[in-house]
Structure 1
Amino acid sequence: MNIWIVGVGEPLPIDGENTRLRRVGNLAKYISETKDEVHWFSTSFDHYKKKQRVEQDKTVELNSNFFLHVAKVSGYKKNISFARILHHQDAAKQIKKLMEQENKPDVILAGNTPIEVVSMVVEYGKQNNVPVVIDIRDLWPEVFKEVFPNYMNVLVNPYVAWNKHKLRKTFSNATSLIGLSEGFLNYALAISKRDKNSLDTVIPIGYPNYEYNYTSSEFNKLWGNYDITTDDFIVSFTGNFGRQFSFEEIMEASNKLKYEKKIKFVLCGTGENFDKIKELAPDNVIFPGWIEKDMITSLLQYSKIGVAPYINSVNYQLNTPNKFGEYLSASLPILVSVEGEMKNRLIENSCGNSYQNGEELSNLIKGYFDNSEKLTIQSENARALFLSDFNGDIVSETIKRQLEKVAFKQID
């Protein structure tokens, strides 16, 4: 089978051998190893590092079944900007050119954003009689209502309504919709104004089943410059300092716990709020900045808790984002800042909890710190939940089977 994946904004295999791939990258790699042919269409601009990967269109043969097509596009400096809108328009135009140079596939998988790209993909599928599956990974454009202050609603609400109107045509013409959760799938169905059919389904975000086998000396070599050791009680965050996260509660909790010298907070990533948060942090908070796979994996292996400080958005209330599976894979109980899907899964499986303020967060952390038996049991529960529901290989196989089902119109 010849499978195309159109996905922009994620790290690419050409970004370096220590790069952590995400949903699309792990799926493409998995499919290629099952001997089906996969073509991944992406762009030259690195969303995370805000720099160009290549200076012209490039196709890379990663293995005999895996081809990465990189379209040269314009970049942007700010995530919310007119330059990014132009980037999305350029991405749709340039990716289409690369697609037209290849033999048509059996099926195409595309993310639901950016709208310019996914609309182009659905139109290509319609013109070439190729089924298209849309992977609903966030509640765009609804999330814009939560990013901007209320006084901007006079501008934001019409923009959201206009984009929903454009999405309606795109979603309704897709062959299949995949939601990360039932809430996400229902959101897409509501926009498309159609009922769920047998080709629509829910498949969560998986995470690779990495081997966490770093020795203490290897950890110390990687992290020795950051004043943390394997004997510390490490509370970790691996993400970015963008608008989707709230760090006020972590700052309050870290201040309340600074008397416990063994408790260390390690907040990884960069972003627009990095400098502001760093200025507010006490000495027990460590900011390593942007780190790659070896440092992340070793950090999670020796951490005790993972914290997921999402803003209280419907986008996260109805979702189990990448960070959820990542922490579970490393056997970490998770403390999450929102009600909804994540909290429910943590409570049901006894591997974490939610908090609403810094005092609640500090009390939860102290509870694990003072009760090693509780920590051990919940760590085991976290790993069990990962293996049953979020193991990346199982998730990738589920998506692959869904694509086969759609390609051959195997309607139940």
Structure 2
Amino acid sequence: MHILYIHQYFASRKGRTGTRSYEFGRFLVGKGHRVTMLTSGLANPEFPVPKGRRYTEHDVDGIRVVSVAGGYNDPHLGTTLTGWLRMLKFYEFARAASRAARELDRPDVVFATHTPLTVGLTGISASRHFGVPFVFEVRDLWPEALVDVGALGNPLAIWWLRRMARRIYRRADHIVALSPGMKEGIVREGVAPSNVTLIPNASDLDLFRPDLDGAAARKRLGLGDRFAAVYFGAMGLANGLDYVIEAARILAEREQDHIVLVLQGAGGKRDELTAMARRLDLRNVVFGDLVPKEEVPAIVAGCDVCLTIARPGKDPTWSPNKLFDSLAAGRPVLINIGGWLGDLIERNACGKVVASDRPATLADALVDLSQNRALCEQMGRNARALAEREFDRNLLAARLEHVLTQVVSHANAEHSARTIH
């Protein structure tokens, strides 16, 4: 089976963002399938497009990567742009990718993964051009997710995105959703439940492990022997990391100097956050630079707990990579958004849910865990067990392979029936 896989933000482990598409693509190649990955080559140190070229081709672990001169590849860059400029860049990638797709070998199926939503337009275009089925993966419900965190308020833009989402959902032969809530949202738009498969984000069990040595990372970050909590990922509006800064201020006020908070990553709000920490003279906040994904596990191994933080109002259907990596690392998770993930953490006793509007509850949880190392270690063991039991990357990749195979088989059967008649 030849799969045309479309992901604007595609990155391998040498990149600086999520690697779901890389890991799934590598799994599919290992099963004997051909994978052609369409991605943006702009702001992309891994797969750049030289000036004057429309696209270039690369090979990464058997995946044929076609990077086009349109949009941008780094989602952290997107957090620094205005909403209208981001949308312009999204359309730019969709157009460039649609043109490039027509020059590629005919696939058996087109698989496009959102975000952004506009990749679905490329998926529809390529599917029609080649006359093959189209599968769409939903990683966030747009426009709801943007509205909830205050990133989108224009009524016309909201209407336009909702209209686009419905069009893509109804055109897709099958849809993959990353959380139960996302599946429910898609079904509310009129899609049959049988046409939506739940495949959540996964844990990279070989990359993030409890037995990694984090001593060098602790030393580099200057953590000493303090109890460390780490947030790793984007630092944009939706992430709401002023919540963490406020929790650090409360800890400092309480003279809980044995606790340190590590903010590892980049984004549009990073400068504002560093200025806030500096203004409050916080000695218990450490900022780490954005690094390739393959370097993150050592940093997590050097810390005691992981933070999954979002701005109040964040859609509780979300499915952030960082939480599943934290589980694989065998670290307790402190999360400030409820929903299915909050329930998951509490039900499996692998962390705590703290109030999204009260940073003091994060401070309380950190004090509690720092004073009960046995509980902290047990939660970490529970986290790793949960990752192995329910979120093994290979198990979930096999589920995607099954979806794609079934869609192709169904399309071929329909074609044969039409030919006979």
TM tier relative to shorter chain: 0.7 to 0.9
Aligned: 1:307 with 2:307: yes
Alignment of 1:77-88 (within 5 A): 78-88=80-90
Q: CA RMSD in A?
A: 2.6
Q: How far, CA to CA, are the matches of 1:35 and 1:335 in structure 2?
A: 40
Letter in 2 for 1:182: P
CA distance in 2: counterparts of 1:326 and 1:61, whole angstroms: 26
User: How far did 1:242 drift?
Assistant: 0.3
**For the Cα contact (< 8 Å) 2:149–2:311, is it kept in 1?**
no
Partner of 2:28 in structure 1?
31
> One-letter code of the match for 1:8?
Q
The alpha carbon displacement at 1:59 in A equals 0.8
> Which residues of 2 match residues 138-287 of structure 1 at below 5 A?
138-148=140-150, 153=153, 156-191=154-189, 193-197=190-194, 199-209=195-205, 210=207, 212=209, 213-215=211-213, 219-220=215-216, 222-229=217-224, 231-258=225-252, 259-281=255-277, 282-287=282-287
Q: Could you tell me which residue of structure 2 aligns to residue 98 of structure 1? A: 100
| CA distance in 1 between partners of 2:17 and 2:239 (Å) | 20
CA distance in 2 between counterparts of 1:186 and 1:161 reads: 20
User: How far has the Cα of 1:318 moved from its partner?
Assistant: 1.5
Offset of residue 114 of structure 1: 3.1
Instruction: Give the deviation of 1:113 after TM superposition.
Output: 3.7
Pair 1:251–1:62, CA change in 2 (3 A): closer
CA distance in 2 between counterparts of 1:352 and 1:324 reads 11
TM-score normalised by L of structure 1: 0.88
Shift of 1:190: 2.4
C-alpha distance in 1 between matches for 2:141 and 2:307: 22
User: Measured at CA, do residues 35 and 19 of structure 1 come closer, stay the same or move farther in structure 2, by a change above 3 Å?
Assistant: farther
Unmatched tracts of structure 2, length 5 or more:
414-421
For this pair of structures, how many residues does the alignment match?
Answer: 395
Deviation at 1:53, TM superposition (A): 5.5
Q: Is the 8 A contact 1:206 1:391 kept in 2?
A: yes
Residues 309 and 336, structure 2, Cα contact 8 Å, conserved in 1: yes
Partner secondary structure for residue 5 of structure 2? strand
Q: Which residue number in structure 2 is paired with residue 385 of structure 1?
A: 386
Q: Deviations over 1:215-251 (max 9, x none)?
A: 46xx32x45342124x432100001210111223322
CA distance in 1, matches of 2:50, 2:16: 17
1:87 offset after TM fit, Å?
Answer: 2.0
Structure 1 vs Structure 2: percent identity of aligned residues?
A: 18
> For 1:110, which of 112, 135, 152 is the aligned residue?
112
Q: Which residue of 2 aligns with 1:334?
A: 333
Decide whether aligned partners of structure 1 residues 115 and 302 sit closer, same or farther in structure 2, where only a CA change above 3 A counts.
Answer: closer
Measure the CA separation in 1 of the matches of 2:381 and 2:163: 46
Q: Using a 3 Å threshold, how does the CA distance of structure 1 residues 214 and 182 change in structure 2: closer, same or farther?
A: closer
Report runs of 4+ in structure 1 exceeding 6 Å deviation.
none
Find the residue that maps to 1:408 and give its secondary structure: helix
Q: Which moved more, 1:270-279 or 1:206-215?
A: 206-215
Question: Structure 1 unaligned runs (5+)?
Answer: none
* Match of residue 59 from structure 2: 61
Q: Mean Cα displacement is larger for which, 324-333 or 16-25?
A: 16-25
